[in-house]
Structure 1
Amino acid sequence: MAANEESSNNNNSQSNNNVSLFYNDPYYISSSDNTVSKIVPINLNGNNFLSWKRNVRRALMAKNKLGFLDGSIKKPDVTDKDISRWMRSDYLVTCWLMNSMDADIADNFTYVDNSEQLWSEVCERFGQTNGPQIYQLKKELDNLRQENMSIVVYFGKMKKCWNELQNLRNFPTCSCGILVKCSCNFMKKLNDFDAEEKLMQFLLGLNSSFENVISNILATDPLPSINRAYYIVQQNEKQKEISGFNHVNHEINALAVQRSQNYVKKDWKKDKYEHKCDFYKGKGHTKDQCFKIIGYPDWYNPKKNNKVGGKVAANVTAVTDCEYEDTPLEFMSAGPGESYAGNSGAAMDSGMVSTIM
């Protein structure tokens, strides 16, 4: 029993060692590696070389094939037994790179011989550090304002500009070793100065609604880091969103209560008989609405208006000719939904109103 367990452990150990050897072998190609796949999700388009380059290097390092780009994995002699394995791996890396470029860019590198040559030409063509790129990034930073952007989007754009500037302008390093013996923390002071510059750029681009937060940050001694300031401003933004939402709901509810309290249904019929025609002394309308003065509309039928539902109305209070005939205009102006016994209960439409007025 013990012998079987020992044999099983040995087999597992040997299997793990074989897997480790496979992954440590730069010529190893797994079943998921194929020539039509991309090494990075975002293609090189000519304007994103810096970020594209970093992502490509990371991906190839994870697959243990970065040495094909920098030449550290040398091509074996034609008589070497590993020459075919090297060529397969190198062609695979070349395909990955080509698939990770826009089609019009990849066409320019169709006839390269190997991945090292391809990488060298791409870096030479798109990776030149020059004044126009630095100028464009500095201009973008100077003009960057939050405006309608959220804090997350605004800070993300600013952070991207900082990173690209850092890659374009590599900070000089000490090669003589003097800074190693420095006791005045010169490098720390330099880094603090750069961090303060970035903090001020971030605060200057914020909207005026964050003035109180900016004042609190600037009053802190020592000044917080850029990441801490970003956290403080973002929390304040979330607070404003929550309080603003509650304030809007409160205003809507208050307005609804006020309207319900102030709403009183108008008695249009009572108001109708308070009107009086100064010309014919009729009731139910005013002088400027009297049909006998302004004329009768085409749709008005005094005979029809003397009936209710097709029958002669009984027990109806007698009114003068002027008072009765002019009634439809006044009922129409009283508002929708009101009915009149002399008009078969129907209200006049907007076309009739336009004709009369």
Structure 2
Amino acid sequence: MAMPLMKEIKRRATVLMCCYIAVYFSPHYLPMDNLSSTTPTELLSTTTPPAATNPIRAQWDIDNCTILGRMFNFMEDQIYHMFLYCDTVPSLWQTLSQMYAHAHNDARILKLYQDIAQASQSSLGLSVAEFFGYLQACWEELAQYELLTNLPPEAAFLMSKRLARQHTYQFLMGLNSEFESLRIQNHNTSPMPSLYEAYATIDSDERHR
């Protein structure tokens, strides 16, 4: 991963983490005596301030300013100036979430794709069974981040078939050169064997060597 991109991801993750700490844990570090019984969580769930004539409006303003101040204090100057227009905790939190909430997941997804693309038996020093298990773990973790359930049923079915074939290709491409003849045999078979059929063939060959 390019260093500027990694630096940006770390910066975004740090911003979100600091704001999270500021809202939920700042009472342990900084006094917040002015806060009412309303918790920061309750304030975050309030999309709009109470009406000006509402008796709790004055305390709401105190709570909002106190928590907002803690969140701003945890930010770097360049980040702080981006969010000056946010005058309530809910609006600031919503903006931060939209901008940074997926930074960690995106970084992990990118790393998984890199690991899969670079994976091979020889580079990892694994047996066929171990190499298959390594790829399987990467695929399963990716599936947790990129859920097919978010797609319409027909699209999810087509995507699952495409992924199954892609996984077979990735497994065969990463095998040691000693399995070249079996790899070509699997590629030339029509219809192409499933991932598990291809694995069974290669694994059996390795065990009998």
Q: TM class, shorter-chain normalised?
A: 0.3 to 0.5
- TM-score (norm. length: structure 2): 0.47
- TM-score (norm. length: structure 1): 0.28
Richer in helix (by share):
2
